[in-house]
Amino acid sequence: MNTSSLRRPAVLVVAGVASVLLAGCGGSPAPAASAAPSASASTSASTGAVAVVTSTNVYGDIVRQIGGDKVAVTSFIASPDQDPHSYEANTQNQLALSNAKVIIENGGGYDDFMDKMRDAAGNTTAQVLNAVKISGKTAAAGEELNEHVWYDFPSVARLADSIAAALGKADPSGAAAFTAGAEAFKQKLTPLEEQEATIAQSAKGTAVAITEPVPLYMIEACGLTNATPEDFSEAIEEGNDVSARVLRDTLALFSGKKVRALVYNSQTSGPETEKVREAADGSGIPVVPVTETLPSGEDYIGWMTANLDALGQALHDD
């Protein structure tokens, strides 16, 4: 499957502020908004904490689990109601980037706005961690890389080690604590991988459908097969129209009971994905909603546990 990376954002720098729009992965964009940071990077000078900026709250939560009160984290995209592909920066975001000691971006074309904003902020000394590069994943021949690596637990474990190393470099006195924090976090990933293996034991080879490739790493780790026509998920991810033929073929997956579940990106939607969801509902096919950013009140481990619970339940629904 061609998991094309997101369209590159347009950047406008006005009066020292980078105004950034990230578009892609399809769907109808919510109004662009900058999330209020839960911990401002600019406060680190007074608290002694390492100032960290992350593109989304997924990585922000992982940093907090590793660094605890030794880090001050600003996450730019943090609202579950915000389409992560429509984003504008403000002066507060720009200040956070200019003061950051560690910057964490997803990479792979997902959040190119981070590099452009950092350039505009003039921060040339921060350590920059690119999750896609750290994952070591490469695209298969003739395809583009699926950049949604936060749904791949081995990649997240490698990122945790890189985060601990970067924090330790920024604050050598806390290096041992950061390493211990990363080890504790990675131990929590083990039950998630075991849960994937359990699903694979009973459901290996089962066909499911998706709207976008966001959860594909998890689906593959669970031994499931993505039956979605390539042209459908590619068009949705790129924000393009789906042809009548491709939409018909996709809807037939549900009317023909050819898939056991629809794994649906609920954070971005449009007319075609709504038709697919309605077709699944109408045919009694379970719908498993997933999101790209961390839901309110959740941490990374709890979020992924809930995703796997919902997927496992859907596959066993009669």
Structure tokens at 272: 């075609």
CA 296/CA 299 separation, integer angstroms: 9
Per-residue pLDDT at 57: 96
Continuous segment of H or E residues that includes residue 53: strand 50-56
Domains of the chain, first to last: 10-188 (3.40.50.1980), 191-316 (3.40.50.1980)
| pTM, rounded to two decimals | 0.87
**Proportion of the chain in helix, strand, coil states, percent, rounded to 5:** 50, 15, 35
| Calpha distance 104→113 (Å, rounded) | 12
Burial tier of 259 (Cβ tally within 10 Å: 0-12, 13-18, 19+) = buried
> Would you state the structure tokens that stand for residue 204, as one six-digit string?
């290996």
Nearest to 265 by CA among 55, 26, 75, 3: 26
Task: List average pLDDT for each run of 10 residues in the chain, which is 318 residues long.
Answer: 37 41 43 40 63 97 98 89 67 90 95 90 95 94 90 98 98 98 98 98 96 96 96 87 95 97 90 96 97 94 98 87
Backbone φ/ψ region at 12: left (φ over 0), alpha (ψ -120 to 50), beta:
beta
Q: How far apart are CA 229 and CA 139, in angstroms?
A: 19
Task: Please report the DSSP string for 255-299 in residue order.
Answer: HTT--S-EEEETTS--HHHHHHHHHHHHTT--EEEE-SSPPTT--
Report pLDDT digits (tens) over 111-160.
988 988 999 999 999 999 999 999 999 988 878 899 999 999 999 999 99
Evaluated on CA atoms 306, 307, 310, 312, the torsion sign reads negative
Taking the C-alpha atoms of residue 309 and residue 306, their distance in angstroms, rounded to an integer, is: 5
What is the distance between the alpha carbons of residues 22 and 44, in angstroms, rounded to a whole number?
28
Q: What is the pLDDT of residue 217?
A: 98
For residue 168, give the nearest of 99, 102, 123, 96 by alpha carbon: 102
Please name the residue ranges forming H helices in 25-130: 44-47, 57-67, 91-99, 113-121
pLDDT number for residue 85:
62
Per-residue pLDDT, 62? 98
- Contact partners, residue 304, CB within 8 Å, separation at least 6: 151, 153, 192, 218
Burial class (CB in 10 A: 0-12, 13-18, 19+), 283: middle
Tell me which residue of 199, 190, 160, 205 sits closest to 65, measured CA to CA: 160
Q: What is the largest CA-CA distance in the chain?
A: 62
Q: Which DSSP letter does residue 107 get?
A: -
DSSP letter for 111, please: -
Place of tokens 């490698």: 158
